[in-house]
Amino acid sequence: MKCDCDFVIRDNPRLFAHYDNCRLMWNELNPGKEYPRNNDGTIKLLNKHLLELNVDILYHLGLDTQNYDLPAMFGDVKFVCMGGTKYRMRDFAQYIAELLDLPEKNKKLVNLTKHSQRYAMYKVGPVLSVSHGIGVPSMTTVLQEVIKLLAYAKVKDPIIFRIGTSGGLDIPPGSVVVSSFGLNGNLGKTYDIPVLGKTRQLPSILDSRVCQEVHSLSADNDDFNTYIGGTMGADDFYIGQGRLDGPFCDYTQADKMAFLNTLKDLGVRNIEMEANAFAAYTRAAGIRAGIICVTFLNRLLGDQVTPNKTTLNEWQKRPMIVAGRYIAKYFEDIKIE
């Protein structure tokens, strides 16, 4: 499909010649639905009720539109990276500050959400690093406030990554998976959310171009393999992921294996707890997004996470390295243009 959206010209023409959230593809996939972006690439919040607010309080971020100059604080953001823990996201911010040689590399990083005490958010140059906790409700709560923050700050054409951990399917532990789609626990490529007593199904589609570009940056001398594949976002770590080692379990090992093999046949490479909702909400906001997770175990061989802390900490850095490469390349290419 030929893309005629403005972003082709405005964004990096070499690396990002076309992407799935362009206006043309949006219109095709969402007939009659307003495109959630303005012509200058800023985010259009499709909620007219917000116009009635004198001040919008981003409660979990500890920020608001009255007491903070959000465009001054965040207007230069290009990438948002999210992941489960506060420590990982602080380490990631530090890593990016060093990788991009930013002034923040020599400063103590400040948690910008400290007033709310729920999450952690660090800003290093054009990169925001935000923790989202475990599971869909925790992740979507902060993601929605981040989307509003990006809109209020007038950020143009942002890209959001989730960098996380997961259980792999038939790939060696320590591998990295770049998600091509999100799958829910009922094997549908949607995030299903009850709204006013009725379940809505939001498509869990990720930007295929971001996915392929991230994957293309895997290096021959990496000591891990990087795969592309679907990612199941389960609503639970134990029975929700077909484990046999939770406090409840009324199915057999054979049932579990049949389920995991079905996932494999559907092209799923890993299981975590946010992918389908993350894909659905970034998609609904018209924001390009990608998910990059390391696998801590091969679920076809077991359920317990057995590597020691040092190994797990080392492996957790792999999605940071992969996302960091993409971010660094983006800014290198911008300089050359």
Ligand X SMILES: O=P(O)(O)O[C@H]1O[C@H](CO)[C@@H](O)[C@H]1O
Ligand Y SMILES: O=c1cc[nH]c(=O)[nH]1
Nearer to ligand Y, 128 or 232 (CB): 232
283 assigned ligand-binding residue: no
Residue nearest to ligand Y (CB): 167
Q: How far is Cα 314 from Cα 153, in angstroms, rounded to an integer? A: 35
Closer residue to ligand X (CB): 36 or 164: 164
Measured in whole angstroms, the distance separating CA 64 from the mean position of its chain's CA atoms is 23
Q: Closest residue to ligand X, Cβ-based?
A: 84
User: Is position 296 an interface residue for ligand Y (rule: CB under 6 A)?
Assistant: yes
- What CA–CA distance (Å, rounded) separates 34 from 285? 11
The single-letter DSSP state of residue 34 is P
Residue 68: left if φ>0, alpha if ψ -120 to 50, beta else—which one? Answer: beta
Pick 296 or 330: Cβ nearer ligand Y: 296
- For residue 167, the partner it binds in ligand Y, ligand X, none, with Cβ less than 5 to 8 A by kind, is ligand Y
The verdict on whether residue 118 carries a ligand-binding annotation is yes
Work out the angle between the directed axes of helices 208-216 and 309-336 (0-180°, nearest 10): 100
Give dist(CA 112, CA 129) in Å, integer. 10
Residue 299 assigned as binding residue: no
Single out the residue of 166, 175, 184, 226 in contact with ligand Y (rule: CB under 6 A). Answer: 166
Q: What is the footprint of ligand Y within residues 249-288 (CB under 6 A)?
A: 271-273
User: Annotated binding residue at 318?
Assistant: no
From CA 276, how far away is CA 263, in angstroms rounded? 14
Q: By CB under 6 A, which span of 21-29, 71-79, 106-114, 164-172 interacts with ligand Y?
A: 164-172
Interface mask (CB under 6 A) for ligand Y, residues 183-222, using x and -?
A: ----------------------------------------
Looking at the Cβ atoms of 22 and 143, the one nearer to ligand X is 143
Query: Among ligand Y, ligand X, none, what binds residue 83 when CB lies within 5 to 8 Å by partner kind?
Result: ligand X
Nearest to 325 by CA among 234, 170, 181, 210: 210
Closest CB to ligand X among residues 58, 177: 177
> Does 163 carry a binding-site annotation?
yes
Q: Is 144 a known ligand-binding residue?
A: no
Q: Which residues pair with 167 in a beta bridge?
A: 271
User: CA-CA-CA-CA torsion for 93, 159, 281, 203, nearest 10 degrees?
Assistant: -130
Which CB contacts under 8 angstroms, 24+ apart, belong to 324-330? 324/95, 324/96, 324/99, 325/217, 325/219, 326/161, 326/213, 326/214, 326/217, 326/290, 327/79, 327/96, 327/99, 327/100, 327/127, 328/99, 328/100, 329/15, 329/217, 330/12, 330/15, 330/78, 330/79, 330/159
- Choose the contact partner of 84 out of ligand Y, ligand X, none; CB within 5 to 8 A by kind: ligand X
Q: Which residue has the tokens 């909400």?
A: 281
Q: Using CB distances below 5 to 8 A depending on partner kind, what does residue 126 bind out of ligand Y, ligand X, none?
A: none
111 binds, among ligand X, ligand Y, none (CB under 5 to 8 A by kind): none
Q: How far apart are CA 131 and CA 138, in angstroms?
A: 10
Q: Is the CB of 61 or the CB of 277 nearer to ligand Y?
A: 277
Whether 23 has a binding-site annotation, put simply, is no
Residue numbers at the binding site for ligand Y (CB under 6 A): 165-167, 237, 241, 271-273, 296
Known binding positions for substrate: 241, 243
